[in-house]
Amino acid sequence: MLITLNISGKIFKVPYDIIRKAQLFDNMLNDCEIINEVVIDRSAKLFKHVLSYLIDDKYPYPRKYYSELDYYLVPYDIDLLYDPHKKMELEIAQLKKNQILMMHEIIELELPEMVQTFKECAKYGCYNNCENHYQLCNDHKEHCCYRTDDGKFCDKNIPYYRGYCDEHVFSYLE
């Protein structure tokens, strides 16, 4: 069902479910019965941006018009509104976290089989036996397996069931 909005003479026909995202209209529709149209004396040009944002919250809403969102009582995250790239950066950071977790899972699935087969510590250069299904011997348990070109090991502590810290987990593939 559509509602007719007359914004300073410009007519907008908008679905109820979209317009109800703006608290101003939601309150209006709850409080009274709309017979013909809703008339609002605001900029139709700016309302186009508000409507686009209501339809798609990824819409790159112009920073200088955020007060229109306030007028229509549209909820928004001010940080994401001011920086349209922030949302993408957050999504990329989450994807990286997911990649790291997946890599840890791959290692956790593969290394125990190697440990069962070889019964040796996964830390390069260590030939101590491993206990149970751990990837590292007791001397190296909770230390990252990564070794730099100059032969030094990463000094980060990790959970006992992992072989690499988050920073070096992809070196397992090398």
Q: Which domains does the chain have, with CATH numbers?
A: 2-82 (3.30.710.10), 97-173 (no CATH)
* Residue 83 backbone dihedrals phi, psi, to 5 degrees: -130, 95
Flag residues of the chain having pLDDT under 70: 79-84, 110-120, 122, 131-136, 146-151, 172-174
Strand order in the sheet with 10-15: 10-15, 2-7, 38-40
Single-letter code of the amino acid located at 174: E
Q: What is the pLDDT of residue 50?
A: 95
Q: What is the pLDDT of residue 164?
A: 75
The reported pLDDT for the residue numbered 143 is: 76
pTM of the model: 0.48
Q: What is the pLDDT of residue 23?
A: 92
User: How deeply is 85 buried, as exposed, middle or buried, from its count of CB atoms within 10 A (0-12, 13-18, 19+)?
Assistant: exposed
Residues 6+ apart with CB under 8 A from 30: none
